[in-house]
Amino acid sequence: MTDSVHVFIYLTGPGWYILKEHGFLEKHCRHQFPVRSQLGCSHAALLTALTGKTPDEHGHFSSYYFQDKVTLRETVRRLYRKLLGEKSGYFGTYSIPMRNLKYFISSGHPYVHDLSPGCFAPLTSIIDMVQEKNLAHSIVGAQTGSPVQALKNVRNQLQDRSLNFAFIEINEMDELLHSTPHDFYKIDKKLRNYEHHIEKIISVGREVSSDFNLTVFSGHGMTFAPQRINIRKKIEALGMNYGLDYHAVYDPTMAFFWFKSKFARSIILDRLQELRHCKILSENEKKEYGIDFPDRRYGETMVLVEPGFQICPNDVLSCLPAGMHGYAPDHPDSLGACLSTRPIYPGPTQVKDFFNIMTNFVSGCKQG
């Protein structure tokens, strides 16, 4: 076994300012970087970290993508699953809205949390690279069980000298921060608990390896979002026919539109341009954010609301939480983070760079 060991912990929910406010791991992880978050859902950011690809390359972005010409059989299958009450996503309240059954596919892919080799094929992820190098590893997705148990397992593997690479995804703080984004006590309690177990990992890691390092990644932050904006009502007031003139999907922070005619496009775009507290993303912004899908499966027109607002009603959540993410990636509350026990050059500036940090470590390890 090579002597080099690197443990990576990926947090979903607490971004740069929350981690700084609570002094998370400040004694051990002195090399700290705010990073621009990846616009899109949490899965989009996680996949970008694992593959180094943007959503328009790996395909995961928001709640639904468009697929015209769905067969009757497929529509009936979706209706059946909906009637059965199949749910996923935030707080288990997420399902395909009836009006979209014919046109859209829910993109809540369950394999996102599988994290096994080949799970993102044809893309190559860090998981494939670790496997190929035959490194002693522990790769644990958020759905696997208790995050604290996963951290304890890492410590035990270090003690047994049977670990070179670990990636532990922890997403339980995401729900806490959605519900109570300003509850300092609850947030602090959770972070101190993680910190306690991570400090033990660092202590054991340094005993068993002369080249031990640990890095914490955060894919995005959380924004207090008490304001509501009803985009759907404003569009429906135009008198256009949903399905005949246009299609639309409303996420909590973004709205997506597809047009069936130039006339419908012109009327709807004029209305969207007048709306306060939201903006239509330009083609340059789509490129910059890595969401320039050539097939427009996530919308010909994308509207992003200002931080602090949530689209209500939307097609994802029946009950809006106090905190939300998915706003402009450079907004302070959106920022993710990288905290490391070792210097990183060049320092990461965006979620995509997490992949390079992990790749650099794996590339430098001897074949196991």
CB of 126 vs Zn ion, minimal distance in Å: 22
SS3 303: strand
Cβ atoms of 171 and 42 within 8 Å: the answer is yes
Nearest approach, Cβ of residue 46 and Zn ion (Å):
11
CA 353 to chain centroid: 15
Between 174 and 333, whose beta carbon lies closer to Zn ion?
A: 174
CA 233 to chain centre: 28
Cα torsion 183, 184, 187, 190 to 10°: value is -130
Q: Cβ closer to Zn ion: 223 or 301?
A: 223
Tell me whether residue 174 or residue 353 sits nearer to Zn ion (CB atom): 174
CB of 143 or CB of 162, closer to Zn ion: 143
Evaluate the omega torsion of the peptide bond into residue 346 and state whether it is cis, within 30 degrees of 0: yes
Instruction: Tell me the closest approach of the beta carbon of residue 311 to Zn ion, in angstroms.
Output: 15
Of all residues in the shown chain, the one whose CB is closest to Zn ion is 174
Our CB check for Zn ion shows the closer of 56 and 174 to be 174
Q: Which residues of 24-49 are buried (b: 16+ CB within 10 A; e: fewer)?
A: bbeebbeebbbbbbbbbbbbbbbbbb
- CB under 5 A: which stretch of 169-177, 242-250, 261-269, 286-294 binds Zn ion? 169-177
- All residues at 6 or more sequence positions from 322 whose CB lies less than 8 Å from its CB, including other chains: 178, 179, 180, 181, 182, 224, 225, 226
Binding of Zn ion by 333 (CB under 5 A): no
Q: How far is the CB of 42 from Zn ion (least distance, A)?
A: 5
Interface segment toward Zn ion; rule CB under 5 A; list 159-167, 168-176, 260-268, 353-361: 168-176
Binding pattern to Zn ion, positions 107-126, x when CB under 5 A? --------------------
CB 127 within 8 A of CB 117: yes
Instruction: Please report how close the Cβ of residue 316 comes to Zn ion at its closest, in angstroms.
Output: 10
Between 44 and 229, CB nearer to Zn ion? 44
CB of 178 to Zn ion, least distance (A): 6
Q: What are phi and psi of 121, to 5 degrees?
A: -55, 140
Cβ–Cβ < 8 Å for 41, 61: yes
Q: What angle do CA 110, 115, 118 make, to 5 degrees?
A: 100
* Binding-site string for Zn ion from residue 119 to residue 158, where x marks contact by CB under 5 A and - marks none: ----------------------------------------
**Cβ 152 to Zn ion, closest distance in Å?**
25
Q: Which is nearer to Zn ion, 156 or 179 (CB)?
A: 179
On whether the CB atoms of residues 221 and 173 are closer than 8 A, the answer is no
Decide whether 174 or 251 has the Cβ nearer to Zn ion. 174
- Shortest distance, position 210 Cβ to Zn ion, whole Å: 39
DSSP 257-286: EEESSHHHHHHHHHHHHH-TTEEEPPHHHH
Q: Footprint of Zn ion on residues 173-232 (CB under 5 A)? A: 174
From the CB of 223, what's the least distance to Zn ion, in Å?
11
Task: Give min distance, CB of 303 to Zn ion, in A.
Answer: 20
74 phi/psi in degrees, rounded to 5? -65, -40
Nearer to Zn ion, 29 or 44 (CB): 44
Spatial distance between the Cα atoms of 131 and 116, rounded to a whole number of angstroms: 9
Count residues binding Zn ion (CB under 5 A).
Answer: 1
| Nearest residue (CB) to Zn ion, 130 versus 142 | 142
- Tell me: cis bond preceding 321? Omega within 30 of 0 counts: no
Query: What count of Cα atoms within 13 Å lies in the side-chain half-sphere of residue 134?
Result: 5
Binding region for Zn ion (CB under 5 A) out of 166-174, 267-275, 293-301, 345-353: 166-174
Using CB under 5 A, list all residues that contact Zn ion.
174
